[in-house]
Structure 1
Amino acid sequence: MDTIATAQIEGAQHRATYKNTDFDIDQPDTPAAVAATQIHTAHQLKVVGNTVTGHGGYSTAKATHGVSSGKWCYEATVDGCIGHCRLGWGQILAEKQAPIGYDEYGYCYSDTGKFFHCSLSLSNSETFGLGDVIGCVICIEDGETRPETQTDPSRTYPPLRKGVYNVEQKISPGSFIEFYKNGVCVGRPFTDIYHGRYYPSVSLFGGASITLNFGPVFFCDTPPGCSPLCSV
């Protein structure tokens, strides 16, 4: 039985506590791309190169490479909007058969203009649609982590949902996620995020279609200090 399957059983029965790093997998030697493997990507999504097309209800695809420290970015272009899409960053444990931001393992920006984490929307920003280019930035501080408290004043978004893996998450002070629409910042909705390895993640509903760009050449200017995901 693999580690994730074991964790599902033990976590559900509260017999074991895992660290999120227990589930990280080795980074491949190939360039960063949208992953076609089922550990990263829901089986019903169509992946051709770095273009992902949805089918049916919300499901999620992740990139082959993730980051756990530093400041990183990627772009996503909306190719088709017959449906809905969400873009962001997720750990390997983020649920594939749900939108990114459904659980505590992911954070996203929705085409409706809302930001999601733990299935709740944080605030409203600009909507996006066909032809728009969305920049997704993550900054993970390479310092000490700390446990979360019930009334942590520095938490923008306290978790309300716990996954079946019984994973102990810790806060990475100073870390954040922010989003850009056509080169203009639309918000930094998530600060002091959980520490872990995060993968570019896209979730699609219906027939929506998105193309991810991991660099090094982007359509829009990148924020200062950002490295393209292709350099992982």
Structure 2
Amino acid sequence: MAEEKSDSPSDKSDQTETVEEKKIKPDDKKQKSKQDETVEKTSVQSNNNESSNCYCGKERNLNIVELLCASCSRWFHESCIGYQLGKLVPFMVNYIFVCKNCSPTGLESFKKTQAPFPQMCVTAIANLLQMCQKENEQKTLFHKDKDIIPFIDCHWESMTTMPRRATQSWHATIHRALLKDIGTLFTMDESTSEGQLFGLASSELTSIKPNYEQMIKNGHLRATEMGIQHVDVSRGTWYWEATIEEMPEGSATRLGWGQEYANLQAPLGYDKFGYSWRSRKGTRFHESRGKHYSDSYGEGDTLGFLIVLPDAHDASHIPNTYKDRPLVKFKSHLYYEEKDQVQETLKALRPLEGSKIIYYKNGINQGDAFVDINKGAYYPGISLYKSAMVSVNFGPNFKYPPTDVTFRGMHEKAEEAIAEQSMADILYLTENEGKLRLDTFVL
């Protein structure tokens, strides 16, 4: 992503208990002591369940898929999770999961990422080891060609988002991955008649989990009070925050609001679909034109992003249904086809009278950045240049909530979006007698 350097000028309630003094017999003391001990044990057990177990309160089961919450670090059984996870296998580490207890919207979130070959090997060997333990087999080492590669080949789509290789050249890559991490991830025994056998350096299968700390360090995941924002707003006054966690020398950010067709391969504010505030010199950008707006911002600053979208009453705020689109199979999943209509959308852009975008720096209003912005739906937008790191907060607990305007946090939009999309789908199915367009896809 290239960074433009040019700027244009410009209840617990308090209770009192009356304790009545009376003599207690020795037997009563023993009885009371036992009761207190029982209550204490029950309390400890309850606290443990709250801190380490699934919604169901049961212990871990290594024979099934379990996911670790990135926020509360509790394990959840696949059968107890309401989210449609797709194909998975036990002992995966290439995912990000947030349980409904940690999500402010009460909805679970899950994302499977591409797994490098060493991770796939760990998952494969762990599953082979667990299957042997289940069958009471004393086997801890496995053959690359007879055990590990067949397991990965059988469960490829479940283990990674990486497309399945057309040739078998990845077999050699598996061998190199195993050899490279001998002593750290794997062990090897060459003294057997079968040749090289591989096992896990640590046989404690309960320790296999996603390295969320490393994901945070590498910038792939930022643990905040929120999840990831995937909803847009088209009317009303909305707000979200971002904190600049790291801003190394030479790095920069552009933060703000963008529409659906904002160019994801360019900085926010590059085209007519984006409005951004740049860290360098506090410049505001739209259509690649930079104008002076405020002082610069940097590491440690918390920024607020407010958008005001008056209700135009002449537009439908119900989102498009996808039930009328053909189905496309991609990486073992079915998707509704959607074609970009950039040029048509560009021609239809019109300013929305009374609309505006305001930015805040550490709770201080920086003034109107843009007024009468284009009509349409807007998403929170972030562009990072080089190694900048930003954490986002969509609510409800904002660090610097605006006091000069009535607004709604972006966290409130999630459930509203679900209702809107459901309404759009119901209208379509009612009008089309419940039929979906399946004519272009062969099951």
Matched, 1:206 2:386: yes
Give 5+ residue unaligned stretches, structure 2: 1-102, 113-217, 316-340, 414-443
CA distance change for structure 1 residues 50 and 144 in 2, over 3 Å: closer, same or farther? farther
Q: How many residues align?
A: 172
Give 5+ residue unaligned stretches, structure 1: 1-29, 38-44, 52-61, 147-162
CA distance change for structure 1 residues 92 and 36 in 2, over 3 Å: closer, same or farther? farther
Please state which structure has a larger fraction of its residues in strand.
1
Distance 1:137 1:200 in 2: 10
Counterpart of 1:15 in structure 2 is none
TM-score, with structure 1 as normaliser: 0.67
| Native 8 Å contact 1:33 1:50 kept in 2 | no
Distance 2:374 2:279 in 1: 24
Q: Secondary structure at the match of 1:165?
A: helix
- Give, as a single letter, the amino acid of the residue that structure 1 aligns with 2:358: E
CA distance change for structure 1 residues 172 and 94 in 2, over 3 Å: closer, same or farther? same
| Native 8 Å contact 1:177 1:191 kept in 2 | yes
Counterpart of 2:412 in structure 1 is 231
Match 1:92 to one of 260, 264, 289: 260
Distance 2:108 2:264 in 1: 17
Counterpart of 1:165 in structure 2 is 343
Q: How does 1:5-20 map to 2 (within 5 A)?
A: none
Match 2:299 to one of 105, 127, 130: 130
Q: Secondary structure at the match of 2:357?
A: strand
CA distance change for structure 1 residues 142 and 135 in 2, over 3 Å: closer, same or farther? same
| Native 8 Å contact 1:65 1:199 kept in 2 | yes
Matched, 1:48 2:221: yes
Distance 2:374 2:244 in 1: 28
Tell me the CA shift for residue 46 of structure 1: 4.7
Q: Secondary structure at the match of 2:397?
A: coil
Distance 1:102 1:230 in 2: 27
Q: Secondary structure at the match of 1:170?
A: coil
Deviates more, 1:120-129 or 1:83-92: 120-129
| Native 8 Å contact 1:89 1:198 kept in 2 | yes
Deviates more, 1:187-196 or 1:163-172: 163-172
| Native 8 Å contact 2:293 2:369 kept in 1 | no
Across the aligned residues of Structure 1 and Structure 2, the Cα RMSD in angstroms comes to 3.0
Deviates more, 1:198-207 or 1:137-146: 137-146
TM-score, with structure 2 as normaliser: 0.36
Q: How does 1:104-183 map to 2 (within 5 A)?
A: 104-112=272-280, 113-143=282-312, 165-167=343-345, 168-183=348-363
- Give, as a single letter, the amino acid of the residue that structure 2 aligns with 1:79: E
Distance 2:273 2:222 in 1: 25
Between 1 and 2, higher relative CO (CA 8 Å, sep ≥ 6) is seen in 1
CA distance change for structure 1 residues 97 and 185 in 2, over 3 Å: closer, same or farther? same
CA distance change for structure 1 residues 94 and 172 in 2, over 3 Å: closer, same or farther? same
Amino-acid identity (%) = 34
| Native 8 Å contact 1:145 1:170 kept in 2 | no
CA distance change for structure 1 residues 135 and 190 in 2, over 3 Å: closer, same or farther? same
Tell me the CA shift for residue 187 of structure 1: 2.1
